[in-house]
Structure 1
Amino acid sequence: MDSTYDYVIVGAGSAGAVVAARLTEDPDVRVCLLEAGGPPPAAELVPAAVASLQNDPATDWMFNGDPGGVGKGLIGGQMMVPRGKMLGGSSGLNYMAYVRGHPGDFDTWAAGGADGWSYDDVLPYFLKAEGFVDSPELHADPDAHGHDGPVGVSVRQPVLGASNQFVEAAGATGMKQGDYNSQDRLNPEGVASLFQTTTKDGRRSSTFHAYLEPAMERENLTVVTGALVERVVLEADGDTVRATGVAYRTAEGPSEVSATTEVVVCAGAIGSPHLLLLSGVGPREELTDVGVDCIVDLPDVGRHLKDHLHAPLMFAADGIGETMTEVAMSLGPDALRAPAGPLPADPADDVDLPEPLAAAKAEAERRITEWFTTGRGLASSSLYDAVVFYSTGLGDEHTHDAQIGFLATGYTPPIWEAVFRLPPSKFFDDPESFLDPTRGQVVVLPNPVQPHSEGSVTLASADPAAPPRIDLNYFDDPHDVKVMIAVMRKALEIAKAWPGGGLGDPVIPPHLAEAHGHVAGEDPSDELLEDLARHYALTVYHETSTCRIGDVVDPRLHVHGIASLRVADASVMPNVVSGNTNAACIMIGEKAAEMIARDHGVRLHTMVGRDTSSTTE
């Protein structure tokens, strides 16, 4: 392969795939895209198979983080920090919720100095990316959506009854049913809806499928997979430090690629600060402590980490929630195979199956074929299917500070233990009975979305192959505890308002019930809810703000003090958006591509943003 390109992009994820695809719309522009993972596996396309992609070193960086004020009950006391390690990055690993955020989020960014990042500024990029498919169940405002963009945005089909019931129950507590990606989001009393998801025809629409897969046919785009990037190559140019390329390693050994115009780092809120630090860009004293020469002293690299946290409230819901038997059946015969399922581990042993097993196999084949040919069925979403956004009234008046998600199934003990690190034997009185795969459960997920606590990403070692140290620092600010308790109470209110007489009592881990003198049928105390959150709250996988605009990059995403280097991903958000973050990451990729194009005369097919001042720091 060539060793010199116009642009070198690090990370083929939610933003990087977008930047690479857009810049190579100009046939005269040569781009090299470096990705540590490889192409996504077949299961990535199947929305309901999402949990299988975590804890797989082929698709997940499998980072761990210190949870700070939570995680007391998690296995090992460490929070999982899944990050996508494949083409498409975390857009191939996430639960596919498509949420722009509250308009006030972006207006507050702009008011704080992020010129060009107000909601009016960023909306054209959301619309440019979006290929929205309406459905009567969404109550959508079609004028608020883009319909011709590459990212599929739709609602699962058929809609699950339990998800509609969640929306109905939220309405009974005062929530308006509407389109949370429209002006309905401005209602402080809240908006309830089925989730809009990044799916197209029932399949995941990651940035790999939406942007990169078609762009890889272009001769001017080189994609290198299996590439562990070790550092950005920085050279002194008089009094200026300039990024001139990237050093990386593959199975074949070390390599280096040069960029004549810019290096664009799109490695995410964990990977981007990690790479800058490895490259000598960050707090001088910290870099010196681990043996990295400091080239540019930027104290805020890796600081100001924000993440969302939700506390699962699980309810027995026979006849309401989807059983794991039905979910597995809908994923095809392979999901029914031993050791977890009743079919033989080896398909060759299916000869002379007993009639009940033969019928189960035939039904599983019918369902997966239906999904494959029509996009319909249980396989067509992650089962994270409905949501509420509202304001608690406890502060952050510019936005909604609360989100409550709804998961229409209860999973299995191995998933809770291996994927979520929640020990079934401690959380449930009788996990095998409660989580019997033939029984229905639902999970309501209270989630404060404007945390005040901040964490950090720092170097644990100068070795690029060593993971960084991630301090999530949840609940460091007491405000976050207060909001979490309020959102948990609202979630319980929705559960009580469930059609048909309510959902009943949530699961309260026996050891916490005993410690707080809690009796079944009583409302849990604030102290019990806080303890539940401190033991079993989980990340929502929304890490942001570790290279934020103002401190590490300017509003055009140039890294301070370094020419020809930008960062474009979740790390540049001045603050986390009030909702799931993937849509905003795609928007950042779209906006970054246009800013680069304006600065350097790259000819994109369409330009949707207003022409703010172009600079080439």
Structure 2
Amino acid sequence: MTVSWQLMLFSVTLWRGHETNCGGALGGNVMQSEFDFVIVGGGSAGAALAARLSEDPNISVALVEAGDRPPEREQMPVACASLQLDPETDWMFTGDPGKGGLGFKDQRMPVPRGKMLGGSSGINYMVFVRGHPGDFDNWARLGADGWSYDEVLPCFKRMEEVSETNEAVISREERGNAGPVGVGIRSPVIPASRDFVKAAGAVGIPEGDYNGAGRHNHGGVASLVQTNTRRGKRSSTFHAYLEEKAELRPNLTIITQAQVQRLILEGEGDSLTASGVEYRENSGAIQSIRANREVILSAGAVGSPHILLLSGIGPRRELEAAGIKCHLDLPDVGKHLKDHLLAPMHFPASGIALTGMEVGMSMGPDALRAPAGPLPADPADDVHLTGELAELKVEAERRLAEWHETGSSLVASSLYDGVCFFSTGLGDDFTHDAQIGFIPHAFNEDVIGTRININLDMLMADASKTLAPDSEHVILLASNCVPHSEGELVITSADPAVPPAINFNYLSDPYDLKVIVAIMRRALEIAAAWPGEKKLGNWLVPPMLAEIHGYVEGEEPSDALLENFALHFAQTIYHLSCTCRIGSVVDPKLRVFGVKNLRVADASIMPEIPSGNTNAPSIMIGERAADLIAADQNVRMVC
């Protein structure tokens, strides 16, 4: 398989991995039709939950996943963008951004969701953030009894194994050291990322552990990014919980390439009970399995409410409009959608940034092949390489081999490598309402123009030059951590193959725009405080916005310009949550109101979105759900 560096893929010819099972039950299990627990979705929460429940050999668990095992390139962190828009690994949803997204093609926001074992923990950019302690105490204040920070901290600690590092502050007393999920700082550390942390310190955001003591500092915390990786390779929940571990247990059956169509419901009124699920195999055959104890939906903030809706559980009027019989009128299913937005600010960074060619070389020689790279498309033609290109190929081979052997490489992270959290002072003082990420590389036209879907002609004067393989630019990502705007999912068809409408409704609350402008101003301060002799250039203001607002390069941008930039180019960070939230759809034990033997356990149950990337909290929800179910159902877990 030969792939293009322009698509940020890499060669699989040197890979030492598993063969991919083509569907059915994994782990050598004989398929059966009844289980104690049926878990729908093998992603961030579902894989953790299945692994924990199956620790008890006396119970049987089925894990039903629409995708398959992850492909080989999933383990290379920098190749994450290549997993987007791949129907084997991504559901490829899109959403309506509402007031935002004016600079996106067709004004549509891509919504990548992982479609494989590991789910979105296998497709994301691996930024490992627990959230602020105040986020979880706020959950408890909102009625989520048992979900305060002190109550979820043991789950965070037992799920993580934080690597030793001299490169960042780690609060050892608050961190885990023996869990299944690897957490580490990339190696080698990119110098520009260290400089970002210094620049943040210069504007009053001190260095610390943002997954530990640093989040207790109201003034904020800055750090190199902690990633869910182990020895430079992705530590998704598939690798952490299932691979060569739980998948080998005789009491866990993993059914892949099986898209759940609906819940099997029995009874009506107060006796309505979930007794199993119906799923469609890739062949088109419809199968069903029963749950003798419980069905647990862990299909994510889109998938779980969609399955409820397809099963006739949700807003009656919307269900009937889609031709679905309403078994339970539960108006909040799919509502209260929350997501984080980031505003990507590009800066010239000569002598500071990584070039695309440097990153491509570290991905191996096949990532440098034509049409985008300097090596011939056909490896057989390598016999005719010039001396310079032959040396380039040898160096690319050396770098890829080093990553395989040691995990140390430029490809050992998604390149989201620096981050800071702080409070704007505009409200929401129970947490940090602001996040700024740092990427020491500008990505390329395919990633920004195709996978993110931004109209490059609107964003930049000359994208082909700004994003060329030899260009040197960095990106500061200004993100509002506590959005007040809410969106919704609306079912439009009774056909399970038709996704629900995703209406983000971004920036509908004017408060959000005010906050994101304040965060962008702080990003400009960090850029201006860059340490050392080499400095960042001026922010690259989109020419059309500069013309509208009379902006002159180098001057301070107006609030109106910053607002307009956010309205045009702020994008999803893929942190969809709250669509089956505690208190509206499920109780604090994650039991669906009005349906017996049915729970939801994934990001959809969050009462409010946490301040930071949501994957670590989603895994924690899987761990916490295991505790709750074990206590109710007398399951004996090892942990």
Superposition TM-score tier, normalisation by shorter sequence: over 0.9
Mapping of residues 286-325 of structure 1, within 5 Å: 286-325=318-357
Q: Are 2:424 and 2:515, in contact at CA under 8 Å, matched by a contact in 1?
A: yes
Superimposed CA distance per residue, residues 32-85 of structure 1 (whole angstroms, 9 cap, x where no aligned partner): 111111111111100111111111111100100000111101112101111000
| Counterpart residue number, 1:248 | 279
Q: Does 1:486 align with 2:518?
A: yes
In 2, distance between residues paired with 1:149 and 1:140? 16
Give the Cα separation in 2 of the matches to 1:110 and 1:183: 21
Instruction: Tell which deviates more after alignment, 236-245 or 276-285.
Output: 236-245
Residues 540-549 or 409-418, more deviating: 409-418
Is the counterpart of residue 226 in structure 1 residue 257 in structure 2?
Answer: yes
Cα distance between partner residues in 1 of 2:371 and 2:250: 45
> 2 CA distance for matches of 1:256 and 1:88?
23
2: CA distance, partners of 1:268 / 1:567: 9
Please state how far the C-alpha of 1:423 moved relative to its aligned partner: 2.2
Match of 1:145 among 175, 193, 197: 175
Q: Which letter maps to 1:172?
A: A
* Whole-angstrom distance in 1 between the partners of 2:338 and 2:517: 19
Deviation at 1:237, TM superposition (A): 6.6
Matches within 5 A, 1:49-60: 49-60=79-90
2-side partners of 1:344 and 1:6: how far apart? 55
CA distance in 2, matches of 1:208, 1:467: 25
Kindly provide the amino acid, as one letter, of the partner of residue 122 in structure 2: G
Give me the whole-angstrom Cα distance separating, in 2, the residues matched to 1:356 and 1:17: 47
Match of 1:46 in 2: 76
Specify the alignment match of 1:369 in structure 2.
401
The superposition leaves residues 318-374 of structure 1 with CA deviations (integer Å, 9 ceiling, x where unpaired) of 211110000010011111012221112222222221222211111110001001000
The whole-number CA distance in structure 1 between the counterparts of 2:616 and 2:100 is 27
Aligned match of 2:415 in 371, 379, 383?
383
Aligned with residue 537 of structure 2, among 504, 519, 523: 504
Q: Residue 586 of structure 1 corresponds to which residue in structure 2?
A: 619
Q: Distance in 2 between matches of 1:404 and 1:487?
A: 8
- TM-score, normalised by the number of residues in structure 1: 0.97
Matched to 1:583, the amino acid is A
Q: Percentage identity across aligned positions? A: 57
SS at match of 2:454: coil
Match of 2:549 among 495, 505, 516: 516
Aligned to 2:304: 272
Aligned-partner SS, 1:313: strand
Is 1:32 aligned with 2:62?
yes
Compute the displacement of 1:409 (Å). Answer: 0.5
User: Which of 118, 121, 125 is 1:91 aligned to?
Assistant: 121
> In structure 1, how many angstroms separate the alpha carbons of the residues matched to 2:89 and 2:630?
31
Aligned residue in 2 for 1:609 = none
Q: 1:500 Cα deviation (Å)?
A: 3.2
Distance 1:539 1:402 in 2: 15
Larger deviation, residues 534-543 vs 416-425: 416-425
Q: Corresponding residue for 2:19?
A: none
- Aligned match for 2:222, one of 167, 192, 197: 192
Describe how 1:424-435 pairs up with structure 2 within 5 A. 424-435=456-467
Structure 2 letter corresponding to 1:231: R
Structure 1 SS opposite 2:150: helix
Q: 1:344 aligns with which of 376, 383, 388?
A: 376
2:188 matches 1:158: yes
Task: Give the distance between the partners of 1:258 and 1:207, measured in 2 at CA.
Answer: 25
2:359 match: 327
The CA deviation at 1:238 is: 7.7
Query: 1: distance between equivalents of 2:270 and 2:212?
Result: 48
8 Å CA contact 2:333, 2:585 repeated in 1: yes
SS at 2:563's partner residue?
A: helix
Q: Is the 8 A contact 2:270 2:594 kept in 1?
A: no
- Distance in 2 (CA, whole Å) between partners of 1:94 and 1:65 is 18
Opposite residue 388 of structure 2, the aligned amino acid is P
Give distance in 2, aligned partners of 1:460 and 1:287.
8
Identify the match of residue 417 of structure 1 among 449, 454, 460: 449
Q: Is the 8 A contact 1:128 1:146 kept in 2?
A: yes
In structure 1, C-alpha distance between the alignment counterparts of 2:277 and 2:468, rounded to whole Å: 51
Aligned to 1:611: none
Equivalent-residue separation in structure 1 for 2:141 and 2:329 (angstroms): 26
Q: Using the alignment, how far apart are the partners of 2:287 and 2:440 within structure 1? A: 47
Distance 2:282 2:452 in 1: 31
Deviation larger for 569-578 or 68-77: 68-77
Amino acid at match of 1:248: Y
Q: Count the aligned residue pairs.
A: 606
The 2-side partners of 1:402 and 1:29 are apart by 44
Q: Deviations over 1:188-241 (max 9, x none)?
A: 111000111100011000000000112111111111111111001111078311
- Whether 1:398 aligns to 2:430 is yes
Uncovered stretches (5+) of structure 1, i.e. residues with no partner: 607-617
- Asked if 1:598 is matched to 2:628, the reply is no
Aligned to 2:70, the other structure's residue is in SS state coil
Give the match's secondary structure for 1:603.
Answer: coil
Q: 1:415 Cα shift?
A: 1.7
Determine if the alignment matches structure 1 residue 216 to structure 2 residue 230: no
The AA in structure 2 aligned to 1:511 is M
Structure 2 residue matching 1:234: 3-state secondary structure: strand
Q: Is the 2:350–2:536 Cα contact (8 Å) retained in structure 1? A: no
- Asked whether the equivalents of residues 134 and 142 of structure 1 are also in contact (C-alpha less than 8 Å), the reply is no
Asked if 1:567 corresponds to 2:600, the answer is yes
Deviations 1:119-149 (A, max 9, x none): 0000000001011112111111111100000
Shift in CA distance, 56/238, structure 1 to aligned 2, threshold 3 Å: closer
Q: Report what 2:209 is aligned to.
A: 179
Q: Is 1:207 the counterpart of 2:237 in the alignment?
A: yes
Equivalent position amino acid for 1:236 in 2: G
- Whole-angstrom CA distance in 1 between matches of 2:68 and 2:380: 30
Aligned letter for 2:248?
E
User: Which residue is 2:159 aligned to?
Assistant: 129
Q: Distance in 2 between matches of 1:291 and 1:14?
A: 32
Shift of residue 432, structure 1, vs aligned partner? 1.9
C-alpha separation in 1, matches of 2:498 and 2:333: 18
* Range that drifts further, 106-115 or 493-502: 493-502
Q: How big is each residue's C-alpha offset from its partner over 1:213-270, in whole Å with a ceiling of 9 and x where there is no partner?
A: 1211111111111111100111107831110000000023100010000000000001
Amino acid in the other structure paired with 2:93: F
CA distance in 1, matches of 2:328, 2:552: 58
Aligned AA (2:252): L
Q: Secondary structure at the match of 2:126?
A: coil
Letter in 2 for 1:194: L
Provide TM-score, normalisation by structure 2.
0.94
Q: Answer with 347-356 or 477-486: which moved more.
A: 347-356
Cα distance in 1, alignment partners of residues 286 and 452 from structure 2: 36
SS in 2 for 1:25: coil
CA–CA distance in structure 2, aligned partners of residues 434 and 285 of structure 1: 49
